[in-house]
Amino acid sequence: MSMTLEQAKEKLAKYGQEHVLKYYGELNEEEKQGILNQIETTDMSILEACKHKEDLAKKGVITPLAAMQLDEIEANREEFTATGIEAIRQGKVAAVLLAGGMGTRLGSDNPKGMYNVGLTHELYIFECLINNVMEIVKKAGAWIPFYIMTSDKNYDDTTAFLKEKNYFGYNAKYIHFFKQEMAPSVDYNGKLLMEAPDRLSLSPNGNGGWFSSLCRYGYDKQMKE
């Protein structure tokens, strides 16, 4: 059962965001349900965390990874390749594609991966990426679970396009889609911004949000299995 108006008011009051329902009385039933759904699913705890950054739990110290020199990699290439191939065969490797972007800067209204970069024949960005993974699949003789993150906006177009193209030869059983979580936009006073009287202004929560978005779909449990 979805959130009631009273529950929505309670949640907004907790975070000082009562203005979100300012135009509620002027909305039709569908619009009312839409804004209530947004209030229910929007994580507002982040607003409190931003106010008291000093109280955030420390999650360890981030330090640079040690790096290999190119000549060291070349000298051990066969060994490293064999180790990687074996890990793939044992099901210890997955691929994650962050495909939430639109092709705006390419002059396209479609998801970026649908852009055709071919000169003499059709060749889509999605196709190039899948071909790269397919090369390794052929070497290993084993499929790699492939997790594709879309945005809320381009989910339908992306899934329909890849299905229509038969996943460019990739085994559909190993392809898993999930949507990137959205984060609320705020003004300089920490107040939620509205895109319209019935709609919060939301933005994708950044590339760093891929893992929490994946977990929301239960794929972390699938990976452990």
What number of helices (H) and strands (E) belong to the chain? 9, 7
Closest to 148 in 3D by CA, of 126, 171, 164: 126
Question: How many Å apart are CA 150 and CA 158, to the nearest integer?
Answer: 7
Instruction: Report whether 130 contacts 170 (CB < 8 A).
Output: yes
What pLDDT does residue 12 have?
94
Please say whether the beta carbons of 112 and 106 come within 8 A. yes
Q: Give the N- to C-terminal CA distance of the chain in Å, as an integer.
A: 31
CA dihedral 162, 155, 148, 125 (to 10 degrees): 50
Position 92 scores a pLDDT of 95
Distance between CA atoms of 175 and 145, rounded to whole angstroms?
6
DSSP string, 23-52: TGGGS-HHHHHHHHHHHHHS--HHHHHHHT
Instruction: Average pLDDT across each block of 10 residues of the chain; the chain has 225 residues. List them in order.
Output: 88 94 94 92 78 71 90 96 97 94 80 89 95 97 96 91 97 96 87 94 85 93 91
Q: Give the tokens for residue 206.
A: 């950044």
Residue 111 is predicted with a pLDDT of 85
Q: List pLDDT tens digits, range 120-164.
A: 999 999 999 999 999 999 999 999 999 999 988 899 999 999 999
Closest CA to 41 of 204, 197, 181: 181
The pLDDT of residue 95 is 96
- Cα separation, 102 vs 154, in Å, equals 8
Structure tokens, 120? 């003499």
> For the segment 175-185, what is each residue's pLDDT rounded down to a tens digit?
999 999 888 88
Q: What is the reported pLDDT for 107? A: 81
Give the model's pLDDT for residue 153: 84
